[in-house]
Amino acid sequence: MTTISIEPFLQYPLKRAPNIHPYSRKAPPFYFNYTPRSLSGGLRLRSAELRTPRALTLRASTSADTASTSAVETSESADVVFTETFSLKRSVKVEGKITIRLAKGKDEENWQLSVGCSIPGKWVLHWGVNYVDDVGSEWDQPPSEMRPPGSIPIKDYAIESPLEKSTVLEGECFYEVKIDFNTKNSIAAINFVLKDEDSGSWYQHRGRDFKVPLTDYLHDDGNVVGAKKGFGVWPGALGQLSNMLLKSEGTANKQENSSSESKAPSEQKSLLEGFYEEHSIVKETLVDKSVTVSVRQSPETAKNILYMETDLPGDVIVHWGVCKDKGQNWELPEQPYPSETTVFKNKALRTLLRQQEGGKCSSGSFTLDVGLTAFVFVLKLNENTWLNNMGKDFYIPLSNSSVLNNEFIQSQSGNASETNEAATVYTNGIINEIRNLVSDISSGKSRKTKSKEAQESILQEIEKLAAEAYSIFRSSIPTFTEDAVSEAEMLKPPVKISSGTGSGFEVMCQGFNWESHKSGGWYMELHEKAAELSSLGFTVVWLPPPTESVSPEGYMPKDLYNLNSRYGSVDELKSLVKRFHEVGIKVLGDVVLNHRCAHHKNQNGVWNIFGGRLNWDDCAVVADDPHFQGRGNKSSGDNFHAAPNIDHSQEFVRKDLKEWLCWLREEIGYDGWRLDFVRGFWGGYVKDYLDASEPYFAVGEYWDSLNYTYGEMDHNQDAHRQRIIDWINATNGSAGAFDVTTKGILHSALERCEYWRLSDPKGKPPGVVGWWPSRAVTFIENHDTGSTQGHWRFPGGKEMQGYAYILTHPGTPSVFYDHVFSNYQSEVSNLISLRTRNEINCRSTVKITKAERDVYAAIIDDKVAMKIGPGNYEPQTGPQKWSVATEGKDYKVWEAS
């Protein structure tokens, strides 16, 4: 029996229950903010991993034990000045199983399909059928007699049947639904997915619907469960053999029936074979824990005695300090410290709480001087899990006056800018560490010597650091993290924006199409539209290739320093760039580094000798392209056969190209680059060019075909986006890449009404934006795919659905010129405005709340909810109240109010 791991491909945001404060003093509400560090591909911690290994248990000198014991004894006679219970709500993973059983009923014609789940919850089976004569993979509703009690029809293609609580096995509840059917109904297959009504999660089989075949003719496309043999009669020679076997075992009447059935396959009786299968399932559930803190003043010792108790499982470490004035700066108290305490970087203390008998809760006491203002702390469960109070430190006043606590709360906004400045410095330090790690696996030597496992381990560390940096970026008052934030007097000025990656809030416009060169004055036309583009909300514009070119569009460059092109003169280009800067828009130049057209032929009549300022010979051409007889080294990428491919391994070539890019930055004023055909050379060379030219933003065109099976796009496109990620890694993360994966998946999802494709098996966006959003430049059309070329045109009439997706999601969205200046302008402008005012950026978080056949919905940063597709969706009201911000044909976007 095969066990297949299934992850939810849809997750609703978890609801927060109200906090309970059993004490007479009314306290402000507290919530638990839980953000585990994870891979962008969706790797999550399981509940069993939340325990800190014993090998990491903190130890302190035994001299503090006496103080701790004394604190406990004295606390009984002390006066209580503060007590509070903080709710700690967090999600954990619960493992269970989906069971599928096909069994015969009272006779050969009546059968029963049972689907069960071992995890408690409100489960619903979303299902439909295929009939024998159906064409394609669309569902149909089953006959009414097949529908279990309580079933509800979903439009005209599916049924939803609730699972009922069944037998209790070994103290655990089991939920099950049974579908009775008759083989005379000519049903070819039963399809289903399991839906968790509590969270809105859907569970599939290998990223597709579960399919239980009832006849043999169905093709096994990876989602078929159950027996694969013994059904009905096969066509052709296998069918004749099947008929012979049936005739040899039956009576004369059966022989006649078999003969007649071979003439009409759709009327045959299926010979089913019962089966039972189990599939693993992981559900995210909300666990409500708490921590209670009380403070007593002891007249005998002139000390404050703080007692803490929590029902969190496993080893719990209190990462703490004290405040000596009304500010919020952490300081170390005077010794002695509690047992199991160590000093962390001379900034804070870490105390391991003692587990009480049974291990169901932990507690500890802290003896503090009366003159202190507050006790501040966060809880640490393991290296990846920190618990805080709504993104802030827990703040426990060491006085019976509530005035002090109120003053602290009011001071939060005043100190926010200072804290953000600290966070910026710390985040930039993380970015540098990430770059070093990426560099470790990007170098040519490391690529050869490091194993795949070692590289993956480094990438995991990168993503953990990225998640930590992003958490700080989004929090006005960040949680105390592993690397202590320097005190205000030690802060350095924030470093400049990292080369090539921008600020994260860019919205790009492609400022041309395939026909723009024909205008004779394109630069001047854009000059007149610069202010309009700025008013629409664009912050970056991508201009066409500026160099003299054999092709009028600019993608066959010849003399790189000659910037008089079909788009305009060099002076017009300078004026245009200056104008964009005046209206607050950055400018990207389209640079072609992979190939270059020659000026002269060699002695064999082959065009591979270059002129102009960069007068290279055939040593600058790769040796493995037979069309141009280069004498350089072999290419480090794919060859572009229309022009000589440049050998970037040559030092003189790299030196000349770096000088050219720096000249473009200084002479023209470009702020960054769109890099053409980067598949043609190793990304490490790109890093070299970007390090030299220091662009504000850079994006590479790594165009690759998606994966298809029998003409149908595969649901899993991990291999495709991994190839793009590999290129970004090779650049040391200094450049982004166009998210071709997302464009392709949007094509299939919208064109075929298969919106379930917009969630990968781990419940993440399925493109590059789901793995490395800060390096994904999302788009739906460009000069190659659309315009007059139309090589891969977006599904007609559905463009605004595509923009509703990319303009509300993380990544850096790029809007095509033809769509900006069209009937879509107002709708695109509304979406950009919504993105800007809600501060959605390239690192925003996405919670996919629905991914079904006819609708996709998601919540971004808990600020924006959106849906695309003809299906219905409304965001659930909870902590947020949602109001419609903009809508159009088959899309709708809400804002939290």
Active site residues: 676, 701
The token pair at 347 is: 């900034």
113 closest CA partner among 172, 163, 167:
163
3-state secondary structure (DSSP) of residue 140: strand
Total residue length of the chain: 897
Cis check for the bond before 29: say yes or no (omega within 30 of 0).
no
162 closest CA partner among 184, 185, 145, 179:
179
3-state secondary structure (DSSP) of residue 68: helix
Beta bridge partners of 101: 114, 276
388 vs 365: CA distance, rounded Å:
19
Beta bridge partners of 735: none
Contact partners, residue 430, CB within 8 Å, separation at least 6 = 465, 466, 468, 469, 472
The token pair at 564 is: 């008089």
Report which secondary-structure segment, H or E, holds 557. Answer: none
Beta bridge partners of 851: 856
Q: For 197-261, list the strands marked E by DSSP.
A: 202-203, 210-213
897 vs 880: CA distance, rounded Å:
7
121 closest CA partner among 179, 171, 173:
173
Segments in 475-616 forming alpha helices (H)? 522-535, 570-582
One-letter amino acid identity for 808? T
Determine the Cα angle at 433 with ends 429 and 439, to 5°.
145
745 closest CA partner among 791, 794, 813:
794
64 vs 51: CA distance, rounded Å:
25
283 closest CA partner among 666, 675, 7, 559:
7
Given its phi and psi angles, is residue 366 left (phi above 0), alpha (psi -120 to 50 degrees) or beta?
Answer: beta
Which strands sit side by side in the sheet containing 846-851, from one edge to the other?
846-851, 856-860, 864-868, 891-896, 882-888
